[in-house]
């Protein structure tokens, strides 16, 4: 596995970090206003970030998986909400277009627009009353003349409030499809949903009322392909968590080395040192897993089980690291508007986003060998005796005093 420690890779990362300094400087204000500044998107486009995850043949940078993961962390450390918006567009939605569409032919304009930043994309799966259970999804594509019409409501979608293009998981006849839908047309109504953390991230949903979709933009897929596509999403969410944890640890180290209590810096207290060391070890371990996963995924390997494990570990690690950082800072950490308070709200968003840990643990267990355990209806009472009529079946001695 090439860790890309060469001069070209390091120069790319250093240049990206420099280009994104203005994004980092606006992170607190973006959180306060709960809006992604237009300047952020301009700087993302100019930095070349949107091209990093695609091959040179499609206009991308053609870099390896490890360097991709490292570049993701640079932006995620600058501003979590901006990172989610940009990476959702180019990595998850963009990869779905290239994997299931025809990026060299009829869908070339879609991927060109995403990589240049002229189009922002989203991936729409869940619905207002549903989560990871596909049996609850109702959005449907149906034939209409030479093309299709799509109807339904999608919710809890990154970039939904302002995306130009949506890759939508929908029902098609008796199966499933990915529909590439232009959201800038009649029949699309949008809504925004406020969030606890990652406030600069555009988040919400849209309702589709018989929106036209060209036949070439409806791609039938088995539902089993959904998890493979989500692998990119689970990867970028994991890197978001690693970046948040790294920011929190850096803040905790700074505070512990300059703040004095009982005549010495906090860092000299054994309990504080132990917390810092635990955080350092956990972040480094999960980062290596992220690099390895990204490398395997860019090699075209199925990493479904590996990336599910990564997302569980990375997102829950970030929550633990933030809790430690808050303990080290004390009440100062929870002052509204502080960086640590912002990251403390951001971290749980990653745990839930893109399938919660509880659902992913089921997937990891299946991959480990227990197989899929189908649900079968059952009666809570049968077999316990609770369904019996106790009066009719009572012993003759019941109620007889001795």
Taking residue 186's Cβ as centre, other Cβ atoms within 10 Å add up to 9
CATH of domain 7-120: 1.10.540.10
Percent of the chain past pLDDT 90, that is, above it, reads 72
Distance in angstroms (rounded) separating the CA atoms of residues 244 and 228? 25
Alpha-carbon separation of residue 315 from 45, 74, 83, 103 (angstroms): 27, 17, 16, 33
Beta strand 121-124 with 165-172 is parallel
Taking residue 334's Cβ as centre, other Cβ atoms within 10 Å add up to 12
Model pLDDT for residues 255-307, shown as the tens digit of each residue: 999 987 778 888 888 899 999 999 999 999 999 999 999 999 989 888 888 99
| pLDDT for the residue numbered 227 | 72
Residue ranges of domains in the chain: 7-120, 122-221, 224-370
Model pLDDT for residues 303-339, shown as the tens digit of each residue: 888 999 999 999 999 999 999 999 999 988 888 889 9
| pLDDT for the residue numbered 228 | 75
| pLDDT for the residue numbered 388 | 64
CATH of domain 224-370: 1.20.140.10
In the numeric block, which tokens belong to residue 238? 């994991």
Asked if residue 248 has pLDDT above 70, the reply is yes
Any idea which residue has 């390896």 for tokens? 64
Alpha-carbon separation of residue 55 from 99, 298, 332, 383 (angstroms): 12, 10, 46, 60
| pLDDT for the residue numbered 225 | 76
In the numeric block, which tokens belong to residue 272? 């504080």
Mean pLDDT in residue range 10-17: 93
The CB-side HSE value for 314 (13 A sphere, CA atoms) comes to: 32
Distance in angstroms (rounded) separating the CA atoms of residues 235 and 293? 8
What does the DSSP 8-state code read for residue 135?
G
Q: Which of 361, 353, 384 is nearest to 308 (CA)?
A: 361
Reduce the DSSP state of residue 206 to 3 states and report it: strand
**CATH architecture of structural domain 122-221:** Beta Barrel (2.40)
Model pLDDT for residues 107-145, shown as the tens digit of each residue: 999 999 999 999 999 999 999 988 777 788 999 999 999
Angle, alpha carbons 131-358-278 (nearest 5°)? 130
Asked if residue 386 has pLDDT above 60, the reply is yes
Distance in angstroms (rounded) separating the CA atoms of residues 368 and 346? 30
Torsions phi, psi for 76 (to 5 deg)? -65, -35
Alpha-carbon separation of residue 84 from 60, 64, 328, 346, 402 (angstroms): 19, 21, 28, 11, 75
Taking residue 7's Cβ as centre, other Cβ atoms within 10 Å add up to 7
Distance in angstroms (rounded) separating the CA atoms of residues 12 and 60? 14
Q: Check: CB of residue 75 under 8 Å from CB of residue 50.
A: no
Any idea which residue has 């309702």 for tokens? 207
Asked if residue 355 has pLDDT above 60, the reply is yes
| pLDDT for the residue numbered 3 | 44
Continuous segment of H or E residues that includes residue 142:
strand 140-144
- For 10-37, give one letter per residue: b (16+ CB within 10 A) or e: eebbeebbebbeebeebbeebbeebbbb
In the numeric block, which tokens belong to residue 22? 């203005």
Name the average pLDDT for the chain: 90
Model pLDDT for residues 168-214, shown as the tens digit of each residue: 999 999 899 999 999 999 999 999 999 999 999 999 999 999 999 99
Q: Check: CB of residue 103 under 8 Å from CB of residue 59.
A: no
Distance in angstroms (rounded) separating the CA atoms of residues 166 and 161? 11
| pLDDT for the residue numbered 6 | 73
Mean pLDDT in residue range 93-107: 93
């Amino acid at each position: 596995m090439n860790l890309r420690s060469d001069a070209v890779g390091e120069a790319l990362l250093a240049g990206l970090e420099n280009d994104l300094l203005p994004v980092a400087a606006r992170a607190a204000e973006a959180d306060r206003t709960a809006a992604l500044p237009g300047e952020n998107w301009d700087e993302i486009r100019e930095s070349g970030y949107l091209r990093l995850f695609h091959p040179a043949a499609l206009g991308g940078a053609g870099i390896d998986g490890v360097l991709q993961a490292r570049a993701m962390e640079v932006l995620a450390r600058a501003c979590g909400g901006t990172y989610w918006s940009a990476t959702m567009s180019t990595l998850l939605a963009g990869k779905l277009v290239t994997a299931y569409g025809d990026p060299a032919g009829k869908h070339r304009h879609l991927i060109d627009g995403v990589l240049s930043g002229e189009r922002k994309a989203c991936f729409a799966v869940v619905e207002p009353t549903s989560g990871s259970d596909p049996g609850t999804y109702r959005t449907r594509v149906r034939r209409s003349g030479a093309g299709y019409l799509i109807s339904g409501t999608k919710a809890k979608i990154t970039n939904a409030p302002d995306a130009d293009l949506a890759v939508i998981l929908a029902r098609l006849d008796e199966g499933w499809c990915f529909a590439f839908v232009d959201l800038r047309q009649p029949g699309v109504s949008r809504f925004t949903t406020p969030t606890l953390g990652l406030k600069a991230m555009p988040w919400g949903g849209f309702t589709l009322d018989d929106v036209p979709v060209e036949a070439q933009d409806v791609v039938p897929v088995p539902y089993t392909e959904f998890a493979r596509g989500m692998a990119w999403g689970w990867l970028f969410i994991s890197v978001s968590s690693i970046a948040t944890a790294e920011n929190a640890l850096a803040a905790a180290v700074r505070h512990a080395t300059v703040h004095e209590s009982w005549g010495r810096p906090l860092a000299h207290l054994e309990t504080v040192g132990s917390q810092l060391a635990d955080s350092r070890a956990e972040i480094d371990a999960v980062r290596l897993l992220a690099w390895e996963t990204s490398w395997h995924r860019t090699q075209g390997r199925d990493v479904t089980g590996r990336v599910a494990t990564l997302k569980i570990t990375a997102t829950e690690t970030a929550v633990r690291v933030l809790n430690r950082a808050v303990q080290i800072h004390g009440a100062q950490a929870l002052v509204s508007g502080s960086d640590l308070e912002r990251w403390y709200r951001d971290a749980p968003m990653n745990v839930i986003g893109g399938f919660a840990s509880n659902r992913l643990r089921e997937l990891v267990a299946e991959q480990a060998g227990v197989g899929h355990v189908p649900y079968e209806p059952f009666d809570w009472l049968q077999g316990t005796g609770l369904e019996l009529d106790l009066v009719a079946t009572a012993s003759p001695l019941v109620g007889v005093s001795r």
